[in-house]
Amino acid sequence: MGTQVRTAIITGASQGIGLACAKRLHRDGCRVFGFDINKPSSQGLEVSEFTEFTEFLIVDVSDSSACKDAMSKVGQVDILVNSAGIVGPNMPFWEVSDQDWSRTLDINLTGTFNMMRAVVAQMRERKWGRIINIASIAGKEGNPNLAAYSASKAAVIGLTKSVGKELATDGVLVNSIAPAVISTPMNEKTAPQVLEYMISRIPMSRVGQPEEVAALVSWLASDECSFSTGACYDISGGRATY
């Protein structure tokens, strides 16, 4: 990344993949802002653990106005990592309530859209930007009893492909990542039988680590990533390689 200091926003930064990405990009020399709907302390973490962030902001990404307001506090943004997300209802799709369906899509899909829209104008103006959306292997293959989650992540992949093509000549690269099961607090709430099913589909026969995802994000956020946009990168232990 040279001597230029890039500014990065990581959503869902209080835990899991988001926290790992924030720490990795800080280590890469970025100025990092962590966005999350929860305070770090509410996740069992100490605020002192976030000293690497220039600032930690409470932001509900499903609220477009909140996203725009937060941007006014950050200023220039070079890198956006959309990691905020929820698993949503874990049950047969016909039992999913309207509220749970809407909430899952509002956070996982609309939240990603809101943040992308909030940063893209300034990235286009400077002719440089990196947007990385955390999707899921469920968005490629679908996981039974996780219809809302699978649908939302498939839509994130489609959104990434569409916007990546729109911005292909603007210097703004937009890519997504499709992790399989990653060892995060979010997956601690997944039903054991569902977790067992998902791990059984992974040829490496293990869950991934947040730091492994963050390493891929680090490259996608860098100058070295220069001829890839609108793509979905596998990080699933071999479960899906397309």
- List the beta bridge partners of residue 9: 33, 80
Q: Report the pLDDT value the prediction gives residue 55, as an integer from 0 to 100.
A: 85
Tell me the one-letter amino acid at 213. V
Q: Which residue has the higher pLDDT, 201 or 85?
A: 85
pLDDT in tens, 152-180: 999 999 999 999 999 999 999 999 999 99
Listed in sequence order, the residues at least 6 apart from 84 whose beta carbon sits closer than 8 Å to its beta carbon are 11, 12, 18, 35, 36, 37, 61, 107, 111, 112
Average pLDDT taken over every residue of the chain = 91
- Maximum C-alpha span of the chain: 54
Q: Report the pLDDT value the prediction gives residue 49, as an integer from 0 to 100.
A: 61
The single residue of 149, 197, 233, 242 carrying the catalytic annotation is: 149
- The encoded tokens of residue 129 equal 């930007």
CATH architecture of 7-235: 3-Layer(aba) Sandwich (3.40)
Q: Report the pLDDT value the prediction gives residue 54, as an integer from 0 to 100.
A: 63
pLDDT in tens, 170-220: 999 999 999 998 888 766 766 777 778 778 889 998 889 999 999 999 999
The pLDDT of 126-139, averaged and rounded, is 97
149 is catalytic: yes
Listed in sequence order, the residues at least 6 apart from 126 whose beta carbon sits closer than 8 Å to its beta carbon are 76, 78, 171
Could you give the CA distance from residue 175 to residue 115 in angstroms, rounded to a whole number?
14
- The encoded tokens of residue 93 equal 């799709």
Q: Report the pLDDT value the prediction gives residue 226, as an integer from 0 to 100.
A: 97
- Burial of 31: CB neighbours in 10 Å, binned 0-12, 13-18, 19+: buried
Does residue 105 register a pLDDT over 50?
Answer: yes
pLDDT in tens, 19-74: 999 999 999 999 999 999 987 755 555 555 665 566 899 999 999 999 999 999 99
- List the beta bridge partners of residue 208: 182
Alpha helices in the chain (DSSP H): 16-27, 64-74, 98-105, 111-126, 138-141, 147-166, 185-188, 192-200, 210-220
Confidence of residue 2 (pLDDT cuts 50, 70, 90): very low
